[in-house]
Structure 1
């Protein structure tokens, strides 16, 4: 059974807030106001990075979150400091792009966009064109996201619509559908912005908030609306129609922590923020390193990290970042997602960051085997809305345990963190399901003949 098939909302789950925070409209939380910065294409110049760091120190509490959409969040802003923070970052070219409640940034691109030799289309130019065209579409939900990918065989992160090249030629437009994707249209690169606008307009008319929430019978109607719009807007409308859901692809969307060569004369240095959090001083140090190594771009990664494209990084450069960032691809913290939790988040009742650090220390062998974990302060699952091999959901100071599910699923049991760590030690021998969901494990053994 898929996660979506048995998913339900937990009783007393925290209410979702009614907007996505920006600079002009920050969101209240446990440590003050949360102001989100949306760098164009997920790229900061070195001066912009320094402006964000200075803004976090002067007008916030000095802490920054990196989001799964390659944005930054400044924490601890107050009513007195929100306006000067917004003015400062607007002057740096990082102001909000719209005031109608729609997405401040519509597209998500790989941190390597424009430089990866495997790309077969001009991702930055196409993403900018889609951003500009999307501003003219009223009524877009704030969380709407169009993933623009230039590599034919790249994985797809969580999103609503997907733009990618077909191996056989042309640009494929697909939408999220449950656990997979449905193709809507094929067009040329030049036609793509108009086709995406037609798709967005058709989706707005459904009244839904996310494309994956569309009922099965609505996909055909959306595709038909796109096809009709294409007949009038683009000269050569090709249409693939609705296809079966396709599996995620193999090439990672974001580069792993550490360094690797991208092409002759160009290397990638990736520094992930532990559990998606860093300080203003750490961002300043990164900006200093980027400047010293001759690059003016700091790219944000959906893996909650920073990416630098360099000519010749050294081991010393990684060492300089290791105090504040994850710089090894096998660091178990990369396999553990965590939100801010208590006391910084008003919805949390557990110290998720501290508990996630403890969990990561005990998760090494499981992480090496490809397992994932998520420590969520509440049922909203802000750090990772989707499933993980082990999900812990904070509630009344304890953690509900979910195996192979998401924060909105029903826990098998509720445990203090010490008991979680003790069972995690046993899980290395008997399996996660037997340690945290014994009833399910017995069912799986009866069905499959082996422990989960």
Structure 2
């Protein structure tokens, strides 16, 4: 198994005598929500079982995996936060403190990676923690050594990316998603990254990379070669010395009781680690040669996604009315109807988002199409946003009872309109928001099943 077994906080935190706890929980429609990223980058199965017990005891028993691979524990109360933190600490789980430095979920295990990003990420996190700089809590920093599940598709304010050069890793610096052209050894790029961190801090405690003046970015002549698209985190990965099974809770949400069954089965099968992956996936890790087919079958029976081409992986959906009092629609029913009755939209070319309210918690950034709770003629309804966020103005709305019909009609219209060899994304771009709105709002309901929303 992977030898980096430390579950304690960063060295800098321990030098300061700190006792890391959960970050301040956020208020949501179903109580407080605590977000957790382990400092070690993984959970032992025993620790994860203890975490599930704590989620049941002190929260609602509902958990989310975010698009960036963080764990969220839902349904907390003000008085239950402290005992939850104590239970997590008692399980040997040390949450990340301060600014999290993210890395690929298989870092240190994947033989196809250019470099193990763990040592560099740990050093950069320590440098930031020791700097005393006041930084935005959501400042995103990534150290990406490559591999099957690299993080090219994950946005960051600062990103270090390794590519092979003459048999050695050459680290490239990106700022705000843009190449700076600066590249060098790991030590050199830590210095370059810290310089950018300092410049961001100088812009104010809420500043992000987008706030940096263009003339304050480093530059040189090196260029980063574009990599192949990262693999889906769902499926079996044979990594030489390790085997990994990736499964995903449908739309990123799961119940502690169901996950507990899965973790116990993984433990019985000799898998001893749980990791979280961008793309809302759970990764079970064990020694090479372990059988995972029975675990995959159990995961499927429990409602988890076990196939990389499952269309549910292409939709970002919040908890909806099933798990959040702020939501005004059953987001899962809307998403399931979209999959079943609008297959022309599910070719993988579109970013799709279903939101129970205008906050858009499941996907803060823009999507190609967003279906969101809205009002239509003063009544509860379903709106469609094209190329925007959940809080943007819909191009069309329908009464909630007519929403399923509108989704079906839109899917049928795309199927009839799409040209040979054209993707759904290209088709919608060609036709434009006005015609999308017309198809959605002018749906004909005869013979179309609209139950379930």
Residue 283 of structure 1 pairs with residue 263 of structure 2: no
Measured against aligned partners, the alpha-carbon deviations of 1:188-207 in whole angstroms (never above 9, x if no partner) come to: 12333333222211111123
Query: Which secondary structure does the structure 1 equivalent of 2:320 belong to?
Result: coil
- Find the aligned partners of 1:269 and 1:152 in 2 and give their Cα distance: 16
Residue 437 of structure 1 pairs with residue 433 of structure 2: yes
- Find the aligned partners of 1:306 and 1:393 in 2 and give their Cα distance: 27
Match of 1:121 among 106, 115, 130: 115
Report the Cα offset of residue 143 of structure 1. Answer: 0.7
- Find the aligned partners of 1:315 and 1:414 in 2 and give their Cα distance: 44
Greater relative contact order structure (CA < 8 Å, 6+ sep): 1
Aligned residue number for residue 447 of structure 1: none
- Find the aligned partners of 2:259 and 2:239 in 1 and give their Cα distance: 24
Report the Cα offset of residue 88 of structure 1. Answer: 0.8
Aligned residue number for residue 298 of structure 1: 274
Moved more, 194-203 or 183-192: 183-192
Equivalent residue runs for 1:9-408 within 5 Å: 23-40=22-39, 42-98=41-97, 102-103=98-99, 106-137=100-131, 138-151=133-146, 154=150, 155-168=152-165, 170-177=170-177, 181-183=178-180, 185-207=182-204, 209=206, 211=208, 213-214=210-211, 218-223=213-218, 240=220, 249-252=227-230, 255-263=232-240, 266-310=242-286, 311=288, 312-322=290-300, 323-342=302-321, 344-396=323-375, 397-408=380-391
Query: Which secondary structure does the structure 1 equivalent of 2:114 belong to?
Result: coil
- Find the aligned partners of 1:421 and 1:435 in 2 and give their Cα distance: 17
| Displaced runs of 4 or more, over 6 A | none
Query: Which secondary structure does the structure 2 equivalent of 1:69 belong to?
Result: coil
Report the Cα offset of residue 212 of structure 1. Answer: 5.1
- Find the aligned partners of 1:297 and 1:342 in 2 and give their Cα distance: 33
Structure 1 residue runs of 5 or longer lacking an equivalent are: 1-21, 224-238, 443-452
What value does the CA root-mean-square deviation take over the aligned residues? 2.9
Query: Which secondary structure does the structure 1 equivalent of 2:92 belong to?
Result: coil
- Find the aligned partners of 2:349 and 2:159 in 1 and give their Cα distance: 26
CA contact (8 A) 2:245 2:292 kept: no
Report the Cα offset of residue 74 of structure 1. Answer: 1.0
CA contact (8 A) 1:23 1:37 kept: yes
Measured against aligned partners, the alpha-carbon deviations of 1:204-246 in whole angstroms (never above 9, x if no partner) come to: 112374645336xx132143xxxxxxxxxxxxxxx62698xx8
Moved more, 310-319 or 108-117: 310-319
Report the Cα offset of residue 272 of structure 1. Answer: 0.8
CA contact (8 A) 2:43 2:275 kept: yes
- Find the aligned partners of 2:225 and 2:381 in 1 and give their Cα distance: 35
Q: CA 1:440–1:343 in 2, change beyond 3 Å: closer, same or farther?
A: closer
Moved more, 26-35 or 162-171: 162-171
CA contact (8 A) 1:43 1:300 kept: yes
- Find the aligned partners of 1:183 and 1:174 in 2 and give their Cα distance: 6
Query: Which secondary structure does the structure 2 equivalent of 1:81 belong to?
Result: helix
Report the Cα offset of residue 408 of structure 1. Answer: 4.6
TM-score under structure 2 length normalisation: 0.78
Measured against aligned partners, the alpha-carbon deviations of 1:376-423 in whole angstroms (never above 9, x if no partner) come to: 223333222333332112224323212344335442111233233222
- Find the aligned partners of 1:345 and 1:36 in 2 and give their Cα distance: 16
Report the Cα offset of residue 356 of structure 1. Answer: 1.9
